[in-house]
Amino acid sequence: MKAVQINISCQSGSTGRLCAAISDLLTQKQIENYVLYYNGADGLATGIKYTDKQRVNLAALASRVMGNWGFEGRGSTRRLIALLEQIQPDVIHLHNLHSHACSLEMLFAWIRKRRVKVLWTMHDCWAFTGYCVHYDMIGCDRWRTGCHDCPQKRSYSWFFDRSAALWQKKKELTRGLDLTLIAPSEWAAQQTRQSFLGNYPVKVIYNGIDLKVFCPTESDTRSRYGVGEKRLVLGVAYGWGRKKGLDVFVELAGRLGSEYRILLVGVSEQQAAKLPPEIISVSRTQDQSELAALYTAADVFVNPTREEVLGMTNLEALACGTPVITFDSGGSPETIDDSCGAVVKKDDIAALESEIIRVCEEKPYASEACIARARRFEIGSRFRDYIRLYEEEGLC
């Protein structure tokens, strides 16, 4: 059996690390496999970079001009298909394809012609929408019956709204395949089943967390940031904005008393300059041990996300023994239970404030319970779930 994974990246980012881990496990089972990618860290023995940034940038420009998001990149895709012809895989495992490095039309035409088994992990919602990676925050459900007049068109196309045509193309391209879909949360699985992909089997495999990295970590965080004995409310995001709830923290800073301090990780210099003095800002850190120390030092981790497939920062906080409060958006509530945190209605800031005070003052959640919850998402177990799926599908 030969297996090929196709993704934006390899060994970097959550999807790139997942590809590398699956590849390692397949290699251990002596299964020939490859990861085809265009961006990220090199060095994986089974990794093959099939295109370059110049081609991808040209495709991105064409996509912006013509509005064909995900259907440009023909030059890159010809190189991808040439590799597939050379490898002749029995199964293709798709991950993120909306990077301008792959024309969905060309790839699926080849898959249909060769009748190759396909697994596709729904890391976001792009596979069954005209354009959108996420739509929950704007409350759009046009993807259910047919995208049109896309309210987020400007994020994908400068001039033309081709959301209706692209939605129809995706529906036609994915019809009649030997396809199994994988969702990283029950929420993502539910969304997928309500789409035009709903006739295909959907398996839930949660994203995993490395408990060797994210674990209780002692540090001088409180003294370094001048928190002292005050209640420390932590927020972590990569790309702060309304989607991640930056505005919520700004409002909380005016609501919570002087005995509370808010610390946000991943804030840009421009954003930091506009934040109120009650908020401590930290730029994005690539040092995961430093991030684990920040999680550990906090009294509570707050995730007011308005769009989320799962919520990995929730799991990172729990693994460090810190309780979590999150909005009831996407798959974020699935990361916690009554033993380790609370869920409040999206945009109910008054309820969020009350829960923060309750958690900090009453301390209803033990660190041990938070860590126990995180163990359910241990990275090795979740990676092995993928291999079990390969076995169930008769692929290894």
- Asked if residue 162 belongs to a domain, the reply is yes
Alpha carbons 314 and 320: distance in angstroms, whole number: 10
Contact at 8 Å (CB) between 344 and 352?
yes
Contact assessment for residue 320 and residue 290, using Cβ atoms and an 8 Å cutoff: no
Q: Are 85 and 4 in contact (CB under 8 A)?
A: no
Residues 105, 239 within the same domain: no
User: Do residues 71 and 150 both lie within one domain?
Assistant: yes
The secondary structure of residue 307, as a DSSP letter, is: S
Residues 309-358 have pLDDT tens digits of 999 999 999 999 999 999 999 999 999 999 999 999 999 999 999 999 99
Look at residue 214 and tell me if it is in a domain. Answer: no
Note whether residue 184 is domain-resident.
yes
The Cα–Cα gap between 205 and 192 comes to 14
Question: 85 exposed, middle or buried (CB, 10 Å; 0-12, 13-18, 19+)?
Answer: exposed
Residue 48 belongs to a domain? yes
Q: Are residues 251 and 274 in the same domain?
A: yes
Pairwise CA distance, residues 275 & 250, whole Å: 7
Full domain range(s) for residue 238? 221-375
69 and 176 assigned to the same domain: yes
- Give the chain's domain count: 2
* Cα gap 130→116, rounded to integer Å: 25
Say if residue 166 is in the same domain as residue 191: yes
CATH of the domain at 386: 3.40.50.2000
**Residue 396: band (very low, low, confident or very high) from pLDDT cuts 50, 70, 90:** confident
Residues 185 and 314 in one domain: no
DSSP per residue over 106-135, as a string? HHHHHHHHHT-EEEEE-SSSGGGSSS-S--
Crossing angle of helices 246-255/349-362, nearest 10°? 60
Assign 2 to helix, strand or coil.
strand
* Per-residue confidence (pLDDT) for residue 279, from 0 to 100: 95
What global pTM score does this model have? 0.92
Same domain, 35 and 136: yes
> Does 246 lie in the same domain as 112?
no
Domain co-membership, 385 together with 362: no
**pLDDT by residue (tens digit) across 74-130?**
999 999 999 999 999 999 999 999 989 999 999 999 999 999 999 999 999 999 999
Question: Model confidence at 162, in pLDDT bands (50, 70, 90)?
Answer: very high
364 shares its domain with 307? yes
pLDDT of residue 40: 78
Q: Quickly state the pLDDT bin for 182 (edges 50, 70, 90).
A: very high
User: Is position 180 within any domain?
Assistant: yes
Contact between 38 and 101 (Cβ < 8 Å): yes
How does residue 141 score in pLDDT terms, banded at 50, 70 and 90? very high
Q: If you write DSSP's letter for every residue of 203-259 in order, what string do you get?
A: EE----B-TTTSS----SHHHHTT-TTSEEEEEE-SS-STTTTHHHHHHHHHHS-TT
Q: Are 339 and 263 in a shared domain?
A: yes
Position 287 confidence tier, pLDDT thresholds 50, 70, 90: confident
Task: Phi first, then psi: give them for residue 3, nearest 5 degrees.
Answer: -120, 140
Residues 59 and 187 in one domain: yes
In a domain, residue 215? The reply is no
